[in-house]
Structure 1
Amino acid sequence: MKGIGKFSIFLVLIVLAIFIKVFSGLYVDYIWFKDLGYTQLFMTPIVAKIAIGIISFLIYFLIIGAMGLIIFKTFVNAEQEKPLFRRFTFHIFPHEDQPEEKVVTPLNKKKVRLVIIIASLLISLMLSLQTVGSGWMKLLEFINATGFGLEDSVFHKDISFYVFQLPFYNFVLNSLISSLSLFLVFSLFFFPLTGMIKIWGNFFKKGSLQIPRSIRRFWGGLMGILFLLISLRKILSMYGVLFSQTGYVSGAGYTEIHVTIPLSIALAVIGLLCAAFSFAFIFVNDHRLVLRPLIAYFIIGFLGTAAHGVVQYMVSNNEFVLERPYIEQEIKFTRIAYDLNEIKMKDYPGNADLSLETINKNRPTIENIRLNDPVPLKTVLSQNQGLRYYYRFNDIDIDRYQLDGKTRQVLLGAR
């Protein structure tokens, strides 16, 4: 007991030292921001990180804890359902009153549940810290989203949806899908290894896979939820074509409009069918209900990828005609993004007579016409001034200085 007490005191001191170090650094930053009048700028990220940390921790804990307890309960129920399955027991946390001469010891359910809860707390804490690092800015952008007053030409949604909302939706969906997929993969290995699932004959025939009802319910419900989330992600992936860099234009081109978007819709529909068959698997003991639509999902995905390549090849043979409207849209929105659409176009024919009087009147402008190009000048300076191999000219800067009372353009490079 004395050893445990000393270790506890030592652990508390370490935690206290870490807390003091972190808090002191934050307090100094707070004083600095407050002195500049930017207290809100300092507090907003901290509040956002704390909020998303607490929310993500609770969500992860509910998912991980619930899945862990459900897997354990499913295992216990399945073990008792049918005598043809080998009973699987652990030599972990045996009851204290268990006789020593018995080789097989039953599980102490209370202690197993306690271990599951503690493990869920630790895993949720690690995942929530990771979520805070990558998700706090997305949360703030989502909450404070402001409309651009401009719609895209493909889906006719305000541009703010793609900048502020879509990244947050994708972040939440990917987090949920990743956590649920982890438990599905774990259960797919765990239950067969316990000897509770048997394969008889041809795997693709009805009744060839013997699954206890409790495990079937668990898998059916979990896969149904996963397929619903995957279908939703496929729907959102359609909007991602506006960020595509794979075609001949940046954004949605001919291939994205005619292949990628229909393929995403088809995969979303197949995903919904997979979800429906997965939920039906809860009540019908036929694993082919899930197997067939799952195979169809991968086949359509493969065919869609192949079709994407074929259409891309067809576009390359008639690129200018097929991609012309999408190139025009790209130019249009690029001009809007940089306010170039506000530029007034004015033609200067350049047929005016050039006289000595005109030259003298515009001499400051003429003397500032740049004759040197910074790109070849950088190469020349590197060759002439590079006295040692470790001397380099990283770039050439262009500036204007007052020389002899006149503004002159100067090219400067630091060696």
Structure 2
Amino acid sequence: MVAALVVAFFVFAGVYADILWYDQLGFLQVLTTQWFAGGTMFLIGFLGMAVPVWVAIQVAYRSRPVYAKLNSQLDRYQQVIEPLRRLAMWGIPALLGLFAGVSSASRWQLTALWLNRTASGTTDPQFHFDTSFYLFELPFYHAVLGFASAVVLLALILGVATSYLYGAIRVNGREVLISKSARIQIAVTAGVYLLLQAVSIWLDQYSTVTDANANITGPAYTDVHATIPGRAILAGAALFVAILFFITAFVGRWRFPLVGTALLIIAALIAGSLYPWVVQRFQVDPSEKSLETPYIQRNIDLTRKAFGVDEVKETNYDATTDAEPGALRSDADTTASIRIIDPAVVTDTYKQLEQFRQYYQFPAKMDVDRYTVDGKSQDAVVAVRDLDLEGLNDAQSWVNTSVVYTHGYGLVAAYGNQRSADGQPVFMESGIPSTGVLGDFQPRVYFGENSPTYSIVGAPKGTTPVELDYPSGDQGSDQKYTTFSGNGGPKLDNVFKKLVYALKFQSQEIFLSDSVNDDSQILYDRDPTLRVQKVAPYLTLDSDPYPSVVDGRIVWIVDGYTTSDNYPYSTKVSMGRAVEDTETPAASFANDDVNYIRNSVKATVDAYDGKVTLYAWDDKDPLLKTWEKVYPSTVKPMSSMSGALMSHVRYPSDMFKVQRMILGRYHVTDPGSFYSRNDAWVTPDDPNSAQNDTKLQPPYFLTLQMPGQQNPAFSLYSTFIPESNAAKSRNVLTGYLAADADAGSTAGKKSADYGSLRLLTLPKTDTVPGPGQVQANFDADATVSQQLNLLRQGSSTVINGNLLTLPVGGGLLYVQPVYVKSKGSTSYPLLQKVLVSFGDQIAFEDTLDASLDVLFGGDSGAAAGDQGSETTPPSTGTDQPSTGTPTTGVPTTGDPEKDAQLKQLASQAQQQLKDKDAALKSGDFAAYGVADAALAKTVSQMISLLGQ
């Protein structure tokens, strides 16, 4: 008894903790709705199974022959069972009811969606039902029929077993004797079972709209002309046999229903398998292409609609492969915005420059956002400085990990298109305390992707703060402390709550420590994705939440999807397989195989107090409308979004990956070409992935101007190559897909262009190199190899950044930053070179401007100075110091004072060149960068004195 009470209290503690968490967040109704719905469905499932089974056993027992003569074997069975009869007659239904109740409770969502279903306004082309019938009604009807069939079948089996055990059914040689009462019970139960099967077979007609065939999903010619009519016939046959069983209950003749059952099985084999095979083999296969055309068209149209690619703007792009002088003039804004900072490479750079203390950390991959600076939108590589308790090493006491070190600090952002003279990122927001161009904002990060399991924060007013805020002073010698003042978690304002959370986290300190007071709050479940998932369990969440400074706060922006696998005529894809690439590991989704997806919700999580806000992004989505009825008042309208938040909303990457997978085949809208599959595309492998672990190239965010656009826009893009293995090895580019990712900055209203998908289709006769081929050309180029070998001197490592593709200059321009990381535990990647490729031509210089000028004959039309070129001296093309002595042949001005200064500066330049050379040979690229910056400054001063 004591053990049971202890277990019960542990369970209660977990339940009560959930109540406190949801209530503090303002989403208690989400929890109570789940409990009420689950509890109701458990009760329905329990009673729906237990009562019919109990009735079947009771009827069979109570109608048993009282004076039946049993054989000795049955008599022994009765003697064994009789002492347990009452327990069995009640226990068996209760046990089966328990299993049925648990199963029903776990599927309460089906019932909730059916009760709150919302019409979509779109009908399917075969049965002309609203698609909501397949999304909400058909799955529910199938579930109910499956449950009812199981109940009736178990009732039949247990009724027969009880009747046999107590003599209502006797076997006398070859003769089976059945009492009248048993006959009525068995015949009626069997008739009900067949009646349920008739309804189920009838509904199976409609299930064909999501069945996969050899070429398409949905009913094809054989299904329409054989399978569907066959199922309708079988449903009628099952209904007829059910009637025969009902008749038998009264007339007592078993021959007709038994013969009918045998004929039903034969009919099922003929109508369900043989006849469709004959139609497919002898009618469809010889003329498959022509006969399947209308059904292929259905599949194309509805798949494109289900995945939101039906309005993609497709353009034939006759890409040139020759770099002509001045070709980039019309694309100057795009080339000036090219992001040369790779968010997947610069993590170590951020750590060395911005981590400051060992108890901070940055994520393995930065995020890409954009901010308006001096009236101009700038792509930014951003990350929060999160907490890392592992960095405390031996100081990981409970007080430190739970009370003192409670939060990260600050958002770090670097210009995506700039670098310093030595190859470092140029930060627009950095430091502790945070300084930069983003204005004043709350920098503390209590809720992040790497926050501690729990922290205890808050204290009475006037008490000395104990939470470490940030290091300050020279080299972080001083510490600043703070006290959390928000509403971020349940309060520990009484002994009972302290006990509850001490049990939940298995930590006696929560209950005993004097650091926990009546003003304390406990913060937990702090990952932004987890918080959104708990308050909106119906959403599938994007794998890449990202932080932004919005209205003076750091907020996490999380994209939420509503998905289904029941959309008619739409092909299913695996979300886990679609999103996996070199930057995103394989993910597991609750509903992995989907054939319908909408980015229906944008969610935000405040990094300071953890507040979760859900916004209806696609208010026309029937799934979201239905879930809003299930959880009323939990989702705010888009009109509630501020302009600042709108300006940081971007097109979701996981949805884009699913769409690019679909468009690999479904960019083809002609049924004949689709059937032949002679123009199928795939996403190329990332040229930077390891040879033994090749993964897809991820899509990239950057600002570009697509053909047909008036101005550059923040976009997400990806490329395509042919599907066949032979063409894939050549890596020839066939398509270029971009999504307008900028929602604008108007409060409550997204830009009309947001989400526009633009597909550039390259002519099949052209051989525009794909990413893999460009990378291979880059690696094989003799000049490039020579320079890379120089960069590798001193055991330095060369790191290829993301290979970007831009439709500019009438062709496709490839840009790849190249980083160098010297040896040493404190080293970090520095951007030293930029690869540019156009067609088969390659340039490899210190800056993007220089590379473009080399490639386009010194007349690229690019906006110079955006990549730090004004602080970088002219390149010799090999990163070797220039030959000759700067003091020889120094120009003069005729002014003795200026000439003297020039001579002195020339001497400085000579020494700086020597310093650069020495640093390069030793592999010390930090010293190389310092000398390079000093040389650039000296040259600039000389030019100024010369008046040029």
**Alpha-carbon shift at residue 28 of structure 1 (Å):** 2.0
**Aligned equivalent of 1:126, options 78, 81, 99:** 99
Q: How does 1:211-360 map to 2 (within 5 A)?
A: 211-304=178-271, 305-314=273-282, 315-343=284-312, 356-360=325-329
**Alpha-carbon shift at residue 45 of structure 1 (Å):** 1.5
Equivalent position amino acid for 1:158 in 2: D
Distance 1:209 1:136, change over 3 A: same
Distance 1:257 1:14, change over 3 A: farther
**In structure 2, C-alpha distance between the alignment counterparts of 1:246 and 1:411, rounded to whole Å:** 45
**In structure 1, C-alpha distance between the alignment counterparts of 2:698 and 2:128, rounded to whole Å:** 43
* Larger RCO (alpha carbons 8 Å, 6+ apart): 2
- The unaligned stretches of length 5 or more in structure 1 are 1-9, 94-106, 202-207, 384-391
**Aligned equivalent of 1:382, options 670, 691, 695:** 691
Is it true that 1:91 corresponds to 2:79 in the alignment?
yes
**In structure 2, C-alpha distance between the alignment counterparts of 1:284 and 1:411, rounded to whole Å:** 87
**Partner in structure 2 of residue 148 of structure 1:** 120
On the 8 A contact 2:60/2:162 being kept in 1, the answer is no
**Aligned residues between the structures:** 361
**Aligned equivalent of 1:61, options 50, 66, 73:** 50
On the 8 A contact 1:274/1:293 being kept in 2, the answer is yes
On the 8 A contact 1:399/1:410 being kept in 2, the answer is no
Q: TM-score, normalised by structure 2?
A: 0.35
**Alpha-carbon shift at residue 242 of structure 1 (Å):** 0.4
**In structure 2, C-alpha distance between the alignment counterparts of 1:146 and 1:131, rounded to whole Å:** 23
Is it true that 1:178 corresponds to 2:150 in the alignment?
yes
Structure with greater helix share of residues: 1
**Partner in structure 1 of residue 14 of structure 2:** 25
Which range moves more in the overlay, 52-61 or 13-22? 13-22
Is it true that 1:197 corresponds to 2:170 in the alignment?
yes
**In structure 2, C-alpha distance between the alignment counterparts of 1:307 and 1:17, rounded to whole Å:** 63
**In structure 1, C-alpha distance between the alignment counterparts of 2:153 and 2:260, rounded to whole Å:** 18
**In structure 1, C-alpha distance between the alignment counterparts of 2:219 and 2:43, rounded to whole Å:** 38
**Alpha-carbon shift at residue 382 of structure 1 (Å):** 3.2
Distance 1:382 1:347, change over 3 A: closer
Distance 1:191 1:68, change over 3 A: closer
On the 8 A contact 2:52/2:155 being kept in 1, the answer is no
**Alpha-carbon shift at residue 364 of structure 1 (Å):** 6.2
Structure with greater strand share of residues: 2
Equivalent position amino acid for 2:251 in 1: V
**Alpha-carbon shift at residue 319 of structure 1 (Å):** 1.3
**Alpha-carbon shift at residue 257 of structure 1 (Å):** 1.0
The CA RMSD over aligned residues, in Å, is 3.5
Which range moves more in the overlay, 154-163 or 183-192? 183-192
Per the alignment, in what secondary structure is the counterpart of residue 210 of structure 1? strand
Distance 1:231 1:334, change over 3 A: same
Identity, in percent, stands at 24
Per the alignment, in what secondary structure is the counterpart of residue 170 of structure 1? helix
**In structure 1, C-alpha distance between the alignment counterparts of 2:92 and 2:158, rounded to whole Å:** 15
Is it true that 1:42 corresponds to 2:47 in the alignment?
no
**In structure 1, C-alpha distance between the alignment counterparts of 2:47 and 2:161, rounded to whole Å:** 27
**Alpha-carbon shift at residue 399 of structure 1 (Å):** 3.7
**Alpha-carbon shift at residue 117 of structure 1 (Å):** 2.0
Per the alignment, in what secondary structure is the counterpart of residue 685 of structure 2? helix
**Alpha-carbon shift at residue 347 of structure 1 (Å):** 6.3
Per the alignment, in what secondary structure is the counterpart of residue 249 of structure 1? coil
- The unaligned stretches of length 5 or more in structure 2 are 341-682, 704-800, 807-813, 819-948
Measured against aligned partners, the alpha-carbon deviations of 1:318-369 in whole angstroms (never above 9, x if no partner) come to: 2111110011111111222233333456667789x99633423325657969
**In structure 2, C-alpha distance between the alignment counterparts of 1:410 and 1:189, rounded to whole Å:** 75
**In structure 2, C-alpha distance between the alignment counterparts of 1:409 and 1:191, rounded to whole Å:** 81
On the 8 A contact 1:53/1:132 being kept in 2, the answer is yes
Greater Rg, structure 1 or structure 2?
A: 2
**Alpha-carbon shift at residue 316 of structure 1 (Å):** 2.5
**In structure 2, C-alpha distance between the alignment counterparts of 1:190 and 1:197, rounded to whole Å:** 12
Which range moves more in the overlay, 339-348 or 40-49? 339-348
Q: TM-score, normalised by structure 1?
A: 0.76
